Structure 1
């Protein structure tokens, strides 16, 4: 995924978190486009309605109304046209059992939502840097959680 301009999709029902994410992204990767959806149903509708223009990376909250992030991952990874899209979990939780399950389901990285803007910029920058190479395979388990 060696593109000059990445196309990101953020699925998160917390509008403040979406704005926080967008502001941080603008400071660390100004040439990156961001679309947001506010629940899992909107995420899947968005992906299925645009087969010619999938995002380069999905940042996915787990606890959303109508369809959870876990349900979305299951659907995405079952669809041949979608399973190649890297998924970065972006959640307040840091439950080790959940993290292990998400890794097994095929998520690429896990970020615990930080409380501070500086830390948010750092973890978003780190996540994007991990996708600048050609190989977009899932990392080894010990590299799954992006630390601030």
Structure 2
């Protein structure tokens, strides 16, 4: 049986946030979704949490602190480095991909143009993480 996930979506684009919510509803998934419109807000959420998210979905192209900068902060933190982090981005830049894996991401997903393809990708990602054994903090 698949577990309910606590997901932190770090995304500055309102339409992308709505797309994720719509996808969770369409797939009839009861995961809890928290949103942060930038990396600073995400860090505040993490620092103020009594329980960390099971999964972080992170956009790379964000204001203030970029996704890669946030990832570097996250993975250097003793408290947060264990949180599986999947990049969800439009960037197919090879150097971004390599840098993210060097920093310790759990996956790198390119946002497809077609909504149907997005749903398929998110279904696969969320199914995997909801069946994976996660350490609760």
Same fold (TM over 0.5): yes
- Please say if 1:61 is aligned against 2:59: yes
Instruction: Mark the runs of 5 or more structure 1 residues left unpaired by the alignment.
Output: 137-148
**Aligned equivalent of 1:143:** none
TM-score (norm 1): 0.84
Structure 2 stretches lacking a partner, 5+ long: none
Say yes or no: does 1:49 pair with 2:81: no
1:99 and 2:89 aligned: no
Displacement of 1:6: 0.5
Aligned-partner SS, 1:9: strand
Give the number of equivalent residue pairs: 134
Deviates more, 1:22-31 or 1:10-19: 22-31
TM-score, normalized by length of structure 2? 0.91
Deviation, 1:3, is: 6.1
Instruction: Give the secondary-structure state (helix, strand or coil) at the position aligned to 1:21.
Output: helix
RMSD, aligned α-carbons = 1.6
Q: What SS is found at the alignment partner of 1:64?
A: coil
Alignment check: 8 A CA contact 1:29 1:125 kept? no
- The answer to whether the 8 A contact 1:5-1:31 is kept is yes
